Amino acid sequence: MPASRPSVVVTRRLPEPVETRLKELFQVELRETDAPMSRDELAAAMARADVLVPTITDIIDAPLIAQAGAGLRLIANYGAGVDNIDVATARSRGILVSNTPGVTTEDTADMTMALIMAVTRRLPEGLAAMQGGTWTGWSPMAFLGGRLGGRRLGILGMGRIGQAVARRARAFGMQVHYHNRRRLRPEVEAELEATYWESLDQMVARMDILSVNCPHTPSTYHLLNARRLKLLKPTAVLVNTSRGEVIDESALARGLKSGQIAGAGLDVYENVGETSAMLKGLPNVVLLPQMGSATIEGRIEMGEKVIINIKTFADGHRPPDQVVPGML
């Protein structure tokens, strides 16, 4: 790795302040368009770069890593998740991987609450009526939703984002419950006024709203499968701003269509870029195009983390956000 101004290739357009700072610090190739790189383009970039800056939509698997040039020593992912990168294979080739954790916590928690409100208060239906010109005036029985205050919110995954959701939910007067791989410290639990459930099945069956805020790992794949989704009360709402693979999307669609589940708000999907045809058009579903972290402040902060990781590595030190295989 050169001691200064390493060769950096960026795979997508990034906010202008981030691109400008990258240009000031490194020999950087910026993307002219926001179109994703093809697999051949990714392979060529990895062959010539010292550092690759991909995004979560760039799939960097073992065969692609095998084509990397001898100079590639860091993959500085623009994003917290690294499901798109074969970290173990990269490390075996002497290539480090870094990410941008913790930046989008507040933004994703905001979006979780937005989806909860959108589904429970039927906001898309009201918006459609106004934009479609079908609203004829106030009626005491029109667009009846539900009050958030007093509802039980079950949070699946009580990491940074889950805790941020809990704080917001308490401000709305909701009762916070959670299931997590490890129970929170007593003082954190007390601060959040959160009730811990060791049994996910028992929690799911009792919640009014279930929020998915856990990562995608082999142990969480389809954690909410068909059997577990059937445990939800027919009045329950399910919201997911984490990873689509945690939910069996086909089973969810069947439950929503049959009325077994009252509603859902989704910002992530089991197959990226493909929303189940069964979900589209359902009146009790709010679907968003992966907007959870889409704030200009968050995107710039992600870029700043990428820059710090590259600069630290170029100076001969371990990137502060290095991803270690086996500890994902």
Summarize pLDDT for 257-305 with one digit per residue, the tens: 999 999 999 999 998 767 778 898 899 999 999 999 999 999 999 999 9
Are 94 and 115 members of one domain?
A: no
Integer Cα distance of 259 and 234 in angstroms: 7
Domain of 44 in residue numbering reads as 7-103+295-314
Residue 191's alpha-carbon distances to 79, 163, 168, in angstroms, are: 29, 10, 12
Instruction: Assess if residue 325 is contained within a domain.
Output: no
What is residue 83's predicted lDDT score, i.e. its pLDDT? 85
Are 63 and 157 members of one domain?
A: no
Summarize pLDDT for 228-250 with one digit per residue, the tens: 999 999 999 999 999 999 999 99
Are 141 and 67 members of one domain?
A: no
- Please state the domain count of the chain: 2
Residue 149's domain is classified under what CATH number? 3.40.50.720
Are 204 and 78 members of one domain?
A: no
Are 145 and 223 members of one domain?
A: yes
Instruction: Assess if residue 321 is contained within a domain.
Output: no
| Residue in the block written with tokens 């589940």 | 261
Instruction: Assess if residue 320 is contained within a domain.
Output: no
Summarize pLDDT for 36-77 with one digit per residue, the tens: 999 999 999 999 999 999 998 899 999 999 999 999 999 999
Instruction: Assess if residue 323 is contained within a domain.
Output: no
Are 208 and 73 members of one domain?
A: no
Are 86 and 115 members of one domain?
A: no
pTM: 0.88
Are 233 and 117 members of one domain?
A: yes
Are 85 and 50 members of one domain?
A: yes
